[in-house]
Every structure is written in structure tokens, then in C-alpha cells.
Amino acid sequence: MAKVVITSVKNQPFASSEIDSAVEKAIDNLNYDFRSINNVVIKPNLCYYWTASTGETTDGRVVCAIIKYIRERIGNDVNITVAEADASAMRTKFAFSILGYDELCQKNNVALKNLSEGNVIAKTVKVGKAEVTLPFNEVLLNADLIINVPKLKTHNFIGVTCAMKNIFGSISKPRKYAYHNNIVNVIVAANKIVKSDIIVVDGLIVRGSCPKKLGVVMTSDNPLTNDFVAARIMSFNPKKVPYLNLAAKENVGETKNINIIEDGVKLAEIKKSFPHYSHRIHSISWGLQLKMLRAYTAVSGDVLPPFLEK
């Protein structure tokens, strides 16, 4: 039976010691076997150059708490790498500096890796009857333990973005908008190739209709299981989210027998507090914004960013 653990950091502005405690409790409740682990990769969600206060980017304090936890459970000799890939409109080397990850990793004596650089290996997997080939860095492929640290937030194109979408972000190809026409299959394929061992969701500040301080830490031992619960928190029916539905059909993870452990906070309370919006109204609004942008480019001769066209 797959697990999802939900706990909270109650006192704002979320002191580091309280974040450490919440992360420790949440991972402990998974009862993960940490034997025979030498290489650990932590994959945060660095979204463009937005700071954690926007609800778009993984808070560095959550990553620090995970580093402390791993060293306490495995030992000081374990190799830990914090890793992120370039995106269509983000260069990781700048994001690392702007968002404080350079300093974070130096302070904690861990490696920092741009997954779009170095030895990249093409991996092919079947999704349904189709084959999907994606490039991934060997740092990810050779890890003994992958800790996926996504955000709890909504997304203009796919609705729900959490653990599975964060692995899509680890694809080494920088211009990921090239995958948008086939994004459902690509997200599922990415998670078949790169398997998250532990998910630690940063829900300190979430992003729905607006950023909101929610003070939630959620852990799981499977990305699809995690995202089924995350979707419900954000008022989506996970069975109607195309890539989650396909992932369930492809047996990427458990979606029916989920053991939800509520540690000091109720799932219903979190769902009620999440800053929801009308998905239909948002879809209409987003379509109108794109039309306005296209009209602007037609008049001005400017160029619309390619990822907005998809």
C-alpha cells in the first residue's frame, strides 16, 4: 500500500527548526529503508527566477532540512547532489545564484549539478504502444536515492503540477516546450525512466489563484500516489487530469489503496484552505490573455515566447 503523509509547520514565518522537524516527521512516517545508499540526488522545483515567496519555487530551507535528515539517517559520508535542469525560459546557472542555491550547497557541503550539462544519456521507454525517447543526466540515472521536492501548485497548461511534473523538469533538453504537443506521454515516460524514491512536497507557500502561506509538508513513496492526493487538495479530479489518468493506466503507481497519514493536520482542512479558482473561468481567461498577446505581437512585430504558443 502506497503512503502519503501530511504534516504542517504551524507558526509563521516558518522557522527553519520547525521546517526541519516537519520534514523529519513526514519522512520518518514513510518507514523508508536507507540501507546501501551512497549517492543521493535531491531534485527541487526551480521555476524560472521566482523566489520561494511566490509559491512557484522550492524553498531552500526544505532542501536544507532534507540534507540534514539524510546525513542523520545514512551518515556524513553519503554523496548528496542538488540538481536541476535548464528550462525553456530559465538557465539553471543563473537560477542557482539568484535563488540562493549556490550558497545553500556551499554551506551544506553538497554538490550542485546542472542536469543539462555533462554526460547525458538517451533513454527509451514505452507508453502505451508508442516509444518515447528522452535525454537524462547520468547523475540522475546512477543515483541510489532520488528525493523529489516539488511544489504544491497549479499550472496553466496541465492544471496540476507536483511530483510527476517535477521529474519532467529534470529532462536534460533545455527547450522543453518542444515536448508540449506530446506532454501527457512525455511526463509519464519521464517518470518511468527516472523513479522518485521519496517525494517531499513543499507546501509552505502554495500557488493557486494566488500565493498563500499554507504551512504544509507532504511526503510519499510514489509520485503518482502523491499527485492523486495533491490534485484533490487543489480541487481537481485526478482521474480527469490526462497525465495522471494515463500514468494510472500505465501502472506508474498506486491510486486506489492509499494510506493517508494525517499528522496534526487534516486533508480536508488543507483542501479548504488552498487558494482555489474556477478551472473553467481560468481556462477562458488564459485563452483571452494569449489572444491579446498574439494581437500585440502582430502590431508590434515582437515575438511571443514559444512555450506560450503550446
Q: pLDDT (tens digit, 9 = 90+) per residue, 3-27? A: 999 999 988 789 999 999 999 999 9
pLDDT of residue 16: 95
Q: Which of 13-27, 52-66, 292-306 has the lowest mean pLDDT?
A: 292-306
Please state which of the ranges 176-185, 216-225, 235-244, 279-288 shows the lowest mean pLDDT. 279-288
Question: Percentage of residues in the chain with pLDDT exceeding 70?
Answer: 93
Instruction: Give the model's confidence band at 280: pLDDT under 50 very low, under 70 low, under 90 confident, else very high.
Output: low
Dihedral of CA atoms 218, 224, 229, 234 in degrees, nearest 10, equals 100
What's residue 276's pLDDT? Answer: 87
Give the model's pLDDT for residue 300. 74
pLDDT of residue 41 exceeding 60, the answer is: yes
| 296 contacts 302 by C-beta, under 8 angstroms | yes
Alpha-carbon distance values, 136 to 122, 144, 211, 293 (Å): 6, 15, 31, 33
